[in-house]
């Protein structure tokens, strides 16, 4: 086995225990055998999380809460929320999530948002909103975003997809962004600065000079809802 394969082996612990499917089989499987296999994997994987030594990734350790979530998801697992006329609960629930997030982040009546899936989409959306606002309101044709070296790599993905140049700001030595380095940059093309250092700290307040930088660059974190000015309703949601 090549050295690289050996290093990756832990990512594929089921290779030797369960069949690997490379195409749809002509014959289906018994439901129970599928459930048994999934339960075996889930049980082993939960044991790691249940040790209580995982930071990040797992946001609640209670199996009673997992059961409650499962019950709620079960009711809508088959719903296609594109069909908002058939599933208006999606509109209600999404608007409430946006409103709760907006209230935590001190949004106002003009704040709007959309529920996204996963970190990458959640970063692409605000980057798109900031890019388009910078283009419209400031005439910035070649946008740049300034992020700490510790910010999540998904911001690079968003930059790549949206044609935004990503500048990586160094840290000042206390895990916080070197704001002086940011201040020395030419200002004309920056449409947004991220104060979020994913791997080390989440608080916007840990971005020293956030207020003054926000005035210049409109500070944002990957947790903030995209907030272009839109319909002046308390909790409007963008349609997909
Ligand atoms: C802050 C942050 N941004 C982006 C991502 C990327 O998320 P995903 O792999 O779901 O696209 C993560 C994932 O952990 C994250 O924590």
Q: For 85-111, what is each residue's pLDDT tens digit?
A: 999 999 999 999 999 999 999 999 999
Q: Kindly report the number of other CB atoms within 10 A of residue 168's CB atom.
A: 13
Give the model's pLDDT for residue 97. Answer: 96
Give the HSE-up count for residue 238: Cα atoms under 13 Å, Cβ half-sphere. 17
Mean pLDDT in residue range 162-178: 88
Instruction: Please indicate whether residue 172 or residue 237 has the higher confidence score (pLDDT).
Output: 172
What's the token pair of residue 8? 């990756």
User: How many angstroms separate the alpha carbon of residue 85 from the centre of ligand 1?
Assistant: 31
Give the model's pLDDT for residue 226. Answer: 36
In the block, tokens 């350790």 appear at 61
- pTM of the shown model: 0.72
* Residue 239: pLDDT over 60: no
What's the token pair of residue 186? 């030419």
User: How many angstroms separate the alpha carbon of residue 36 from the centre of ligand 1?
Assistant: 30
> Ligand 1, residues 117, 121, 123: which to mutate, most atoms within 8 A of Cβ?
123
Burial of 21 (0-12, 13-18, 19+ CB in 10 A): exposed
In the block, tokens 């003009």 appear at 110
CA distance 88 to 116: 17
Mean pLDDT in residue range 36-45: 95
Instruction: Please indicate whether residue 82 or residue 208 has the higher confidence score (pLDDT).
Output: 82
Q: For 190-234, what is each residue's pLDDT tens digit?
A: 555 555 444 444 434 334 444 444 333 333 333 333 333 333 333
């Amino acid at each position: 086995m090549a050295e690289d394969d050996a290093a990756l082996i832990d990512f594929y612990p089921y290779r030797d225990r369960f069949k690997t499917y490379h195409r749809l089989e002509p014959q289906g499987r018994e439901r129970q055998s599928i459930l048994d296999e999934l339960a075996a994997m889930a049980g082993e994987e939960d044991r790691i999380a249940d040790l209580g030594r995982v930071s990040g990734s797992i946001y609640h350790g209670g199996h009673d809460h997992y059961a409650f979530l499962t019950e709620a998801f079960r009711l809508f697992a088959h719903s296609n929320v594109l069909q908002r006329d058939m599933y208006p609960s999606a509109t209600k629930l999404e608007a409430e999530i946006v409103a709760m997030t907006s209230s935590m982040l001190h949004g106002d009546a003009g704040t709007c948002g959309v529920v996204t899936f996963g970190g990458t989409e959640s970063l692409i959306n605000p980057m798109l909103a900031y890019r388009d606002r910078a283009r419209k309101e400031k005439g910035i044709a070649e946008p740049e975003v300034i992020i700490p070296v510790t910010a999540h790599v998904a911001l690079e993905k968003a930059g790549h997809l949206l044609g935004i140049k990503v500048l990586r700001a160094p840290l000042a030595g206390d895990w916080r962004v070197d704001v002086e380095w940011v201040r020395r940059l030419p200002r004309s093309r920056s449409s947004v600065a991220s104060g979020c250092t994913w791997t080390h700290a989440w608080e916007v307040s840990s971005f020293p000079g956030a207020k003054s930088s926000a005035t210049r660059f409109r500070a944002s974190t990957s947790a903030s809802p995209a907030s272009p000015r839109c319909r002046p309703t308390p909790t409007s949601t963008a349609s997909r």
